[in-house]
Amino acid sequence: MNFKLLPVSQEDLIDYKKDMQEAFQKGTAAQFSDLHTEILPEKDIDISLSKTGAFAYKALADGEMVGGAIVIIDEETQHNHLDFLYVKYGTQSRGIGQAIWQEIEKLHPETRVWETFTPYFEKRNIHFYVNCCGFHIVEFFNPQHKEPHTPEDMVGGDYFFRFEKKMK
């Protein structure tokens, strides 16, 4: 597989957002048979893309867009955040997610700490971040320990994990 991680261009955005939304929707639908909620509204992607320090990447395998990620880089603290990482629906379990993450680490070698979040029910994500990417679960949010910036309409509600990966 010829793999590349490149910046997302304006021409990519429609397909990029659609593919990301589909990956999140179908991944969550696999956990909830009666799901009737949009998991990742376009406005959430737009908010991430407009943050200070945002970098959006597309993953290409043999010339086809197969995933991507949005990271937020804090140049001052180098405590950086992975907002979204997705693998296009139908191309999972081929090492694309790991390839995306490995390239992000290479593109941002000055990072001291990476941080990301995932809902408690996303077993594949938990496995991926902990066992494949080297993150550690550092916090579990729930009704007794709320994360103050969580949107009220987030699927999974108050139950999700915060991960960190300290770099050498």
Q: Which of 119, 115, 40, 117 is nearest to 73 (CA)?
A: 115
Contact 48, 41 (CB under 8 A): no
Instruction: Note if the pTM is more than 0.85.
Output: yes
CA angle 114, 43, 137 (to 5 degrees): 25
Looking at residue 28, its pLDDT comes to: 72
Domains of the chain: 3-166 (3.40.630.30)
Note the pLDDT of residue 93: 80
Instruction: Extract the residue ranges of the chain whose pLDDT is less than 70.
Output: 29-36, 148-157
Please report the pLDDT score of residue 50 as a whole number. Answer: 97
Residue 111 has a CB neighbour count (10 Å cut-off) of 19
